[in-house]
């Protein structure tokens, strides 16, 4: 195993999930049965303590941890490790009754009543005091337990608090951002418009739902502040744990592309990035491959936040969830594919919510490894046990890394600013879908592509695509220029570089901040098409063809770029739509219109060739990833289709069967093949 393995104690991957024995303390028979069944399912790790506060501290200052000690001990005696969560995701009733300021205030300015979860005030000193006490108790009592793998802070941090204290913290945050200069804020937010000027920071309010919502800079800073404030809370909890146990790694579980928090700013606070994945498998609007491919994008967003180590799949549903519009069960084989996909994308864990279905309340019908039926021969249980067995066979791959040479730039700031921009068409802006669509096309071509922020270090990459990079951080333009200068192949699209970090438009032409020089073009107009409108890009390169245009078409003034395609119709027929400029050792491409990623494949293939990246040709429905380690590489092929898929070009050992592969091989339908390519000595 390589030394980047997240959990050396496990000797491989972690397999398990959220376990809530505190709901079953009056059923010791069930707790015993759980351990028997966990071993049968190949579970080697569970997450304890999520939402357990009212059991751990039923009355203020009265602690009950014996149950936790007993459970952790008997799990460990049976070879099962623990990820221990702090309970701050939901508060006990005594706390809200005694300290109502711990309860969050809504965007309407109304304080919540006690209940539900994930709704505390991030700044409340009282809440922090109570969290500090319970976290310290946990760390002191369990931080040196031999079965402890890591701490899991809270659960799915999210939302925002709009209380007076948070509003005051927001003003402090703004004072910092604008160096105590209210005129700098007025300029940045263009507040003379509609008479919105502020005379002092004391006058600034958060953008309440029933208040100021028309100042783009304010909206954007509030979102950044919410991340800042959540991150501060996260760091506060981590600080309490580290003060007691500096060597225990810490994570918190992220939620896919959750819009409310810029996870890239939070990732540095944790040792390991983990996330919860709940796709709508086997739905009625796309193939399983499409759903899986989107899930792979999400895995990649998580992986790319820390490229030097694996990430974690913290939660996924073994069978079904209970909160989709339609709670369809995973069809046979889907669970296996989904778990192997996480591993293929660079996760060192396949974890579930949840081990056992509870009898009552909100999630009583949410899928679990153990059903109300309680049997160890249900379909779900058997499929989970298959995953457990497969992960054991794949153990040597734990700790290995996916090393992409291509990157897609996806930015939370650009996303927020695009959502808020009073421009284009609300129904077709589709920033996320545009990024995901392009990323999926590279996946289809068998090219591994990280997903990174616009200010990320781009030196590991030779090709980058930055769709709709509407907002430019102060460092972005320089970063992109450097990338191309050093030989990178870069593609940008319509709606790029329109505003700065305060959502103020650049003057002198988009893309701003010097990017017009990099691409050799300036955008003059952006045309928003009605859904039935069509145009096309006629490519000049032989064989590239004509690409249908929908939704958006920019007209360009070309300075010193080569024109590779022009519009086919409308008043801008014949004018440039696709350009390329050689810049330093690389090329900067500008695609002025929205075309399908499939249509743009010749362009992607050309860029890949220039970047020296070899695509891996794949049959339809097959997904490919490569994890690399010191002794060799692990090639993962996932067949999401209903028919066997045949491939060739691999030599090594197939790890799930233990059989040698030399040349061609077949992947059974809805199954995976993992080939270990041994590194040959030179």
| Active site members | 156, 315
Q: Given CA atoms 266, 280, 414, 600 in this order, what sign does their dihedral have?
A: positive
- Binds ligand GAL (CB under 6 A): choice among 22, 96, 244, 276: 276
Q: What residues contact 36, with CB distance under 8 A and at least 6 apart?
A: none
Give the nearer residue to ligand GAL in terms of CB position, either 193 or 323.
323
Give the nearer residue to ligand GAL in terms of CB position, either 84 or 438.
84
C-alpha distances out from residue 42 to 355, 466, 542, Å: 12, 42, 55
User: Does the footprint of ligand GAL cover residue 501 (CB under 6 A)?
Assistant: no
Residue with tokens 């296996």: 336
Phi and psi (nearest 5°) for 409?
-95, 120
Give the nearer residue to ligand GAL in terms of CB position, either 51 or 544.
51
Closest approach, Cβ 239 to ligand GAL, in A, equals 23
- Cβ burial of 409 (10 Å; 0-12, 13-18, 19+) is buried
Say if residues 580 and 484 touch (Cβ distance below 8 Å).
no
Closest approach, Cβ 344 to ligand GAL, in A, equals 23
Phi and psi (nearest 5°) for 151?
-100, 150
Closest approach, Cβ 39 to ligand GAL, in A, equals 24
Distance CA 113, CA 342 (A): 38
Give the nearer residue to ligand GAL in terms of CB position, either 276 or 420.
276
- Binds ligand GAL (CB under 6 A): choice among 142, 151, 353, 495: 353
Binding positions for ligand GAL, 134-173, rule CB under 6 A: 155-156
Closest approach, Cβ 253 to ligand GAL, in A, equals 6
User: Does the footprint of ligand GAL cover residue 321 (CB under 6 A)?
Assistant: yes
Say if residues 107 and 135 touch (Cβ distance below 8 Å).
no
Give the nearer residue to ligand GAL in terms of CB position, either 44 or 155.
155
Closest approach, Cβ 256 to ligand GAL, in A, equals 10
Phi and psi (nearest 5°) for 126?
-65, -45
Distance CA 440, CA 369 (A): 31
User: Does the footprint of ligand GAL cover residue 502 (CB under 6 A)?
Assistant: no
- Binds ligand GAL (CB under 6 A): choice among 366, 462, 581, 625: 366
Task: Considering only CA atoms, give the Rg of the chain.
Answer: 26
Closest approach, Cβ 560 to ligand GAL, in A, equals 51
Binding positions for ligand GAL, 505-564, rule CB under 6 A: none
Q: Strand 671-678 vs strand 645-654: parallel, antiparallel, or unpaired?
A: antiparallel
What is the token pair recorded at 132?
């500090």
- Cα–Cα nearest to 122, from 209, 204, 235, 210: 235
Q: Could you check whether the bond before residue 527 is cis, i.e. omega within 30 degrees of 0?
A: no
- DSSP-assigned letter for residue 374: -
Closest approach, Cβ 347 to ligand GAL, in A, equals 17
- Binds ligand GAL (CB under 6 A): choice among 278, 428, 526, 545: 278
Say if residues 513 and 570 touch (Cβ distance below 8 Å).
no
Closest approach, Cβ 316 to ligand GAL, in A, equals 9
Residues near ligand GAL (CB under 6 A), total = 9
Helix, strand, coil percentages in the chain from 3-state DSSP, rounded to 5: 35, 25, 45
User: Does the footprint of ligand GAL cover residue 481 (CB under 6 A)?
Assistant: no
Say if residues 631 and 397 touch (Cβ distance below 8 Å).
no
Give the nearer residue to ligand GAL in terms of CB position, either 321 or 667.
321
- Cβ burial of 126 (10 Å; 0-12, 13-18, 19+) is middle
User: Does the footprint of ligand GAL cover residue 315 (CB under 6 A)?
Assistant: yes
Give the nearer residue to ligand GAL in terms of CB position, either 85 or 469.
85
Closest approach, Cβ 252 to ligand GAL, in A, equals 11
Give the nearer residue to ligand GAL in terms of CB position, either 252 or 496.
252
Residue window 600-639: x/- pattern of binding to ligand GAL, with contact defined by CB under 6 A = ----------------------------------------
Residue with tokens 């928090």: 261
Say if residues 518 and 483 touch (Cβ distance below 8 Å).
no
Give the nearer residue to ligand GAL in terms of CB position, either 118 or 126.
118
List, in sequence order, the alpha helices (H) in 600-662. Answer: 601-611
What is the token pair recorded at 222?
């509030």
Site of interaction with ligand GAL (CB under 6 A) = 155-156, 276, 278, 315, 321, 353, 363, 366
């Amino acid at each position: 195993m390589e030394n980047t393995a997240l959990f050396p104690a496990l000797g491989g991957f972690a397999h398990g999930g959220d376990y809530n024995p505190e709901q079953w303390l009056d059923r010791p028979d069930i707790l015993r049965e759980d351990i028997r069944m966990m071993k049968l399912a190949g579970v080697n790790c569970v997450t304890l303590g999520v939402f357990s506060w009212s059991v751990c501290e039923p009355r203020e200052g009265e602690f009950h941890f014996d149950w936790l000690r007993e459970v952790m001990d008997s799990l460990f005696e049976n070879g099962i490790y623990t990820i221990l969560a702090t309970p701050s995701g939901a508060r006990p009733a005594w706390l809200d009754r005694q300290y109502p300021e711990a309860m969050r205030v809504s965007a309407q300015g109304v304080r919540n009543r006690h209940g539900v979860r994930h709704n505390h005030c991030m700044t409340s000193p009282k809440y922090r005091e109570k969290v500090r006490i319970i976290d310290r108790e946990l760390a002191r009592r369990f931080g040196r337990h031999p079965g402890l793998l890591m701490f899991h802070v809270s659960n799915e941090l999210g939302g925002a608090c709009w209380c007076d204290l948070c509003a005051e913290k927001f003003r402090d945050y703004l004072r910092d951002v604008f160096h105590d200069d209210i005129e700098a804020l007025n300029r940045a937010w263009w507040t003379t418009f509609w008479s919105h000027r502020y005379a002092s920071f004391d006058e600034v309010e958060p953008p309440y739902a029933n208040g100021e919502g028309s100042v783009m800079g304010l909206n954007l800073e509030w979102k950044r502040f919410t991340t800042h404030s959540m991150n501060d809370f996260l760091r506060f909890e981590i600080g309490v744990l580290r003060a007691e146990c500096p060597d225990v790694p810490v994570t918190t579980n992220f939620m896919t592309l959750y819009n409310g928090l810029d996870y890239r700013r939070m990732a540095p606070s944790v040792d390991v990035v983990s996330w919860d994945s709940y796709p709508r498998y086997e739905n009625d609007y796309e193939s399983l491959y499409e759903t899986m491919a989107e899930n792979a994008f999400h895995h990649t967003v998580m992986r790319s936040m820390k490229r030097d180590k694996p990430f974690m799949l913290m939660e996924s549903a073994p069978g079904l969830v209970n909160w989709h519009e339609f709670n369809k069960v995973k069809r046979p084989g889907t669970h296996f594919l989904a778990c192997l996909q996480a591993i293929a994308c660079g996760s060192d864990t396949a974890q579930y919510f949840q081990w056992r279905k509870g009898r009552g309340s909100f999630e009583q019908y949410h899928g679990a490894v153990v059903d109300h039926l309680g049997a160890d021969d249900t379909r779900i249980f058997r499929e989970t046990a298959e995953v457990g067995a497969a992960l054991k066979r794949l153990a040597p791959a734990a700790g290995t890394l996916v090393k992409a040479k291509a990157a897609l730039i996806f930015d939370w700031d650009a996303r927020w600013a695009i959502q808020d921009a009073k421009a284009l068409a609300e129904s077709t802006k589709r920033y996320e879908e545009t990024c995901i669509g392009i990323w999926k096309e590279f996946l289809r071509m068998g090219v591994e592509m990280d997903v990174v922020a616009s200010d990320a270090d781009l030196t590991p990459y030779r090709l980058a695509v930055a769709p709709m990079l509407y907002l430019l951080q102060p460092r972005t333009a320089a970063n992109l220029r450097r990338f191309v200068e050093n030989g990178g192949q870069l593609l940008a699209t319509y709606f790029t570089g329109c505003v700065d970090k305060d959502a103020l438009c650049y003057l002198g032409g988009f893309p701003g901040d010097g990017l017009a020089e990099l691409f050799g073009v300036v955008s003059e107009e952006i045309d928003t098409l009605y859904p039935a409108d069509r145009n096309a890009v006629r490519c000049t390169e032989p064989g590239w063809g004509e690409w249908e245009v929908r939704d958006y078409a920019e007209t360009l003034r070309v300075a010193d770029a080569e024109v590779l395609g022009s519009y086919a119709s409308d008043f801008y027929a014949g004018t440039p739509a696709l350009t390329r400029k050689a810049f330093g050792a690389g090329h900067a491409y500008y695609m002025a219109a929205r075309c399908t990623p499939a249509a743009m494949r010749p362009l992607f293939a050309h860029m890949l060739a220039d970047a020296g990246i070899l695509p891996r040709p794949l049959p339809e429905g097959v997904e490919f990833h490569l994890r690399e380690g010191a002794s060799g590489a692990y090639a993962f092929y996932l067949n999401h289709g209903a028919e066997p898929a045949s491939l060739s070009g691999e030599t090594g050992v197939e790890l799930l069967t233990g059989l040698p592969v030399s040349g061609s091989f077949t992947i059974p339908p809805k199954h995976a093949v993992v080939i270990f390519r041994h590194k040959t000595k030179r």
